[in-house]
Amino acid sequence: MRWWVHKLWKDRTNVPLITQGPKDDKGIEALIAQYGERTAAIAWAHYIHEDPPKYTLWDRDPKKITTFPLASFLKMHDSYIVDAITRLNEITPKRIAEIRELETVAGVEHKSEAEIVAQLTHAAGEVPQTDDDSVNVFDLVDEAMAAVPPAPLQRKW
């Protein structure tokens, strides 16, 4: 299991991610193989940070608690993958050219390509929250993917 899967979950919920072992591992690896690691990670981060969440961690009725959140995500990942791809497609040479054109028309100083990409990335990664705040799934994914696990993850199966 990829470390970022666990890190994104724990950073958001403050509880360890409980998985179904090889079944969930194969599911996330299949998603990565099909769409790429960054797209899969962005989709997972959006699922985790969706407000209100699609998962339930605490409830008086135990039947309402999401026991295996990664399995739940893997069953309904399509809309999150489409969202991740759409967000990533906001950062294209065409969009950069459109911004350059707008800068020229407006008569403002041109930003560097790196500044434009940073601006597009920030805007594309925002996920609104109910408290009028937002989280940036691109930033969260970059941080989680760069993190080094405290110890190598060893498969027990």
The confidence score (pLDDT) of residue 120 equals 82
Q: What is the pTM of this model?
A: 0.79
Top-confidence range, 9-23, 83-97, 115-129: 9-23
pLDDT class for 43, splitting at 50, 70, 90? Answer: very high
CB half-sphere exposure, 104, CA atoms < 13 A = 6
Q: Is the peptide bond before 149 cis (omega within 30 degrees of 0)?
A: no
- Which tens digit of pLDDT belongs to each residue from 98-137? 888 988 999 888 888 888 888 887 788 888 776 667 788 8
In the beta sheet, which residues pair with residue 126?
136
Task: Return the number of other C-beta atoms located less than 10 Å from residue 27's C-beta.
Answer: 18
Q: 155 pLDDT exceeds 80?
A: no
